[in-house]
Structure 1
Amino acid sequence: MDEQTIFSAGDILVTPTRFKVPGQTYAMSGITSVKSVTKRPTIGPLLLAAWGVIMIVANQDANAIALAVAIIIGAAAWLFLGAKSVVALSSASGEVKALVSRDTKLVDDIVEALNEAIIKRG
């Protein structure tokens, strides 16, 4: 018996009976709800960059190279970490982050497909 594919992209598959992501397969029968969540990076890298800027503006006696490195590392870490979208699945045993991606459209498409699979499951 062939499963109806609701969504497929690379290693990601959504059917009325299962949700497959790299390294894990979830049974749709156990999923009670699904949502998209935006996960923001921590503020630590920004604080590091801000500290470097404040020290330079305050003209403190400190190594200018070390301050420049602090600013660069803090800003680069913030940009690299960036916001991520998460597919969160709820079941009787709690919530699980099934997929994390920087591609918000992909996550939104997966959540829409999962909602459709829940409806088709009945």
Structure 2
Amino acid sequence: MSEQIFFEHDGVRVSSARFVVKGATYPISAITSVRAVRSKTFPLLAIVLILIGFGILLGGEPTLLIFGLATIALGVVWIIKKKELYSVVLQTSSGESQVLESQDRQYIHSVVDALNNSIVQRG
């Protein structure tokens, strides 16, 4: 029986027999479950920038006013532009592994759907 390909893109391949990602191969028969996870990262550095900017403004030095405002603006832009990170998490007999990350939610969900289809076909 030949392998059926469920997904193949950018070095990631899901077939009826294996999952290949980042040079590692996982047998589909060893995967008990798969899920997509969204990382919830806290923008600590952006908040520190904003606080530094307010500190500069509160310092009262008129020559540093522009620098303080620019620092606050940079922190705010950083928070607004921050992209969420999505991951493929595999459950195997040896535990849980985060095997693929991307900012592209649809890409990660496509990989998870392909893995689920492969697991279901395996039976």
Per the normalisation by structure 1, the TM-score is 0.81
- Say if 2:54 and 2:68, in contact at 8 Å, map to a contact too: no
Shift in Å at residue 23 of structure 1? 2.3
Shift in Å at residue 53 of structure 1? 4.3
- Say if 1:45 and 1:75, in contact at 8 Å, map to a contact too: no
Q: Which residue of 2 aligns with 1:13?
A: 13
Structure 1: 4+ residue segments shifted above 2 A = 40-43, 52-56, 61-82
Alignment gaps of 5+ in structure 2: none
Aligned amino acid, residue 88 of structure 2: V
Per the normalisation by structure 2, the TM-score is 0.80
Aligned amino acid, residue 122 of structure 2: R
Per-residue CA distance 1:28-77 (angstroms, 9 max, x = gap)? 11111000000133331232133034325x62246446545643654465
Root-mean-square deviation (CA), in Å?
A: 2.4
Aligned mates of 1:25, 1:35 — CA distance in 2: 18
Aligned mates of 2:13, 2:22 — CA distance in 1: 10
Q: Tell me whether 1:116 sits opposite 2:122 in the alignment.
A: no
Structure number with greater Rg is 2
Shift in Å at residue 17 of structure 1? 1.1
Aligned length: 121
Aligned amino acid, residue 40 of structure 2: R
Shift in Å at residue 87 of structure 1? 0.4
Aligned mates of 2:11, 2:25 — CA distance in 1: 11
